[in-house]
Amino acid sequence: MNIIPKVKNFTENGVSKISPEFTSDEKLGFCKKAFHRMVFKLYDIRLTEGEGGIKLLYDEKLEKDEYRINGAEIYASDSEGARYGLATMLQLMERKETGFTIKNTEIREKPDKDFRGFMTDLARQWHDFDILISYVDLCCLNKIKYLQLHFTDNQSWTLPLKSFPDAATKGRAYKKAEIDYLVEYAYEAGVELIPEFEGIGHSKELILNCPDEFGNIYDEEITSASALTSGVDQKIGRVDNIMCLGKSGIFENIRKMLTEIADTFKYSEYIHVGCDEAKHENWNHCALCRDYMKRQRLTSTKAAYTHFAEKIIDICISLGRTPIVWEGFPYEGTENISRDCIVVSWENVYQTGPELLESGFKVINASWSPMYIVPPKTKDALHIKRDWTVTGDNWNVYEVQHWASGSKAYGGLGLTPHENVLGGMLCQWECTPCEERERVIDLLSQTADRTWNSKDFYSEEEYYKNAEKINKLSERLYKKRE
C-alpha cells in the first residue's frame, strides 16, 4: 500500500466512490476544521456536512494514539489517533470530478515512537511567515507530531517578546499576531510547536541588542585575537556569543523570557533552551563571572557551563514545561541536571547517545547524518556528504551516525532499544527556503516512516515505490501556502 509512513496492519479490497461530505462524532469534532482545510488545499474541494462521505467516529476500545479505518470510516478514542487516521485518509483519497474515490481498506495501527519531529532554522536565513504555515501542513500530512522553531541564534532574534522588546532583530522578526495565529493553526492541525530560545551560547544577537541584561564585561586588556575570536567592540567592553554567568539578574531575566514564551506557546509541552557550543572559556576573562564561580565554588568554566544549563533547565521545569537541550554541555556537573530534561543527540562529541542514556537522560535522535539538512555549499570543507537520505543511510531511531572522524558516531553508533529513546528529529540548518524545499519534502516523509515505525519500515527501494503520492501532496501544500 503506497502510504507513508508504512501502515502496520491492513487489508485492501478495491475502490469506492464517496461524496465530498464529512461528519464526525462530537467527541472528535475538534479535528474537523483542520481536515476541511487540508482537503481544500490538496484537492480544491470544500467538504460539506453529510453522511455520504468520510465519517470520523469515536471508539473507546482503541488505545491512546491508535486509529482504525474501515472504508470511509475512521475510528479513534482521542485527538491524536483521530488526526493520524485523517492524515492516512488524505493519502487514500483521489479526486474524481466533484467527489472522491478512496481505496477500500481496513487499517489498525498506532506509532511506535511519540517524538517524530522536524526543526527549522529561522535565525540564520529569513523565512516568510507563510512558510511556517506550510511546515505545519507538511507535518500534519506526514504524521510528524512536533515542529521545533529555532527562533534565535547569533545571526538574528526572530521571536517578538514584550518583556524584552529590544531583543528582536529589526526587519527580521515575526509579528506577535503572526505567532499567535501560528499557535492556534498548529493546535487545530494536531502539530505541537516547540519554541526554541538558545540559552548560554548562540546568543550574540541577543547580547548586542540587550547588553546590560545578558552581556559579559570583559577585562580591558583581553583582545579578540587572544580570547574572543567572535567578539565585537562595544562601549561596555568585549561582547561575544555567550551570556554572562555573573550578571546581576541574569536568571531573573531568563525566567521572565521563558515565562512569556511559555504563555505565548500555551499548548506546547516542550521548550527547547539550547545549552550547546558556548565558549565557556571566555568567562575566565569576565570579572563578574570569575566572582560568581568563586562564590558558587565552581572550579572550572566547564563546571560553570553545566551549572548555567542546570539553572535554565530548572527555570523551565518550574514553569510547568519540559525542557529540551542540545547535546553539547560538558560532562562536568552533569549529575546535577534534572533527568526530566530531554537531550537531543546530534554530534556525539560532547556526550554520546549511549552515555546520555546510561546517565538516565531521555534522548531524541537527530544524528548529524542523515538527519541534518545543510546548505549545498559551506565554508567547512569537511562537510563532504550532503546528499544523504534517511532511507539510503539505513537510519533508524536506534542508530546515530556522523560524517566526521572526530565524532564517536563516525561509522555508526547503536543505541540500546529503550523507552528513553523517545524518537527522532529531522533538522534544517542555515538554508534559504529555496535551498531546503526539495530536501524537506523528501526527507520529512522518510523521517516519518522511520520514526512512526521503529523496526518494520520501508527499505530504500520500497520507500521510493510508495512515496510518489505523498510527495505530490506535499508539493501541493507548499504551493498553497497561506
- pLDDT at residue 237, rounded to an integer: 43
The helix (run of H) or strand (run of E) holding residue 16 is strand 10-18
pLDDT of residue 175: 98
As a whole-number percent, the residues of the chain with pLDDT over 70 amount to 93
- CB-based contact 300:323 (threshold 8 Å): no
The mean pLDDT value for 388-400 works out to 93
- For 196, counting Cβ atoms within 10 Å of its Cβ (0-12 exposed, 13-18 middle, 19+ buried), the class is buried
Its sign, for the CA torsion 226, 229, 233, 239, is negative
Residues ≥6 apart with Cβ < 8 Å to 62: 68, 75, 76, 77, 81
Q: What's the pLDDT at 386? A: 61
Q: Per DSSP, what are the bridge partners of residue 96?
A: 99
How far, in Å, CA of 155 to CA of 73, rounded? 49
- pLDDT bin (cut points 50, 70, 90) of residue 348 is very high
Cell digits for 276?
550547546
Instruction: Judge whether residue 373 has pLDDT over 90.
Output: yes
Q: What pLDDT, in 10s, does the model give residues 176-217?
A: 999 999 999 999 999 999 999 999 999 999 999 999 999 999
Instruction: List the domains of the chain with CATH numbers.
Output: 10-109 (3.30.379.10), 115-479 (3.20.20.80)
Please tell me the distance from the alpha carbon of residue 85 to that of residue 88, in angstroms, as a whole number: 5
pLDDT digits (tens, 9 = 90+) for 4-48: 999 988 998 899 999 999 999 999 999 999 999 999 999 999 999
Q: Is the pLDDT of residue 224 over 80?
A: no
Q: How confident is the model at residue 221 (pLDDT cuts 50, 70, 90)?
A: low
- DSSP class of residue 402 equals B
For 218-241, b where at least 16 C-beta lie within 10 A, e where not — what string?
A: beeebeeeebbeebeeeeebbbbb
Predicted confidence at residue 236, as pLDDT, reads 35
- Chain segment 248-305, per-residue pLDDT in tens: 999 999 999 999 999 999 999 999 999 999 989 999 999 999 999 999 999 999 999 9
> CA-to-CA distance for 464 and 451, rounded, in angstroms?
17
Is there a contact between 415 and 358 (Cβ–Cβ < 8 Å)?
Answer: no
Q: What is the pLDDT of residue 227?
A: 43
pLDDT of residue 377: 63
User: Please, which pLDDT band fits residue 404 given cuts at 50, 70 and 90?
Assistant: confident
Write the DSSP assignment of 183-241 as a string of letters: HHHHHHHT-EEEEEEEESSS-HHHHHHSHHHH---B-TT--TTTT-TT-EEETTEEE-S
Please give the pLDDT value at position 231.
45
Write down the pLDDT at residue 235: 36
Residues with Cβ < 8 Å from 331, sequence gap 6 or more? Answer: 302, 306, 350, 351
Which DSSP letter does residue 151 get?
Answer: -
pLDDT > 70? residue 422: yes
How confident is the model over 299-340, as pLDDT tens digits? 999 999 999 999 999 999 999 999 999 998 888 889 999 999
pLDDT over 90 percentage in the chain = 85
CA separation for the pair 136, 132 (Å, rounded): 6
Instruction: Give the length of the chain.
Output: 482
- The angle formed by the CA atoms of residues 196, 200 and 205, to the nearest 5 degrees, is 75
Model pLDDT for residues 52-89, shown as the tens digit of each residue: 999 999 999 999 999 999 999 999 999 999 999 999 99
C-alpha pair distances (Å), 232 with each of 153, 158, 211, 305: 16, 21, 12, 22
Position 234 scores a pLDDT of 40
Pairing label, strands 73-76, 192-199: unpaired
pLDDT score for 238: 52
Average pLDDT, the chain: 92
Q: Average pLDDT for residues 364-384, to the nearest whole number?
A: 77
Give the dihedral sign, CA 414/4/51/70. negative
Task: Give the three cell numbers for residue 39.
Answer: 482537503
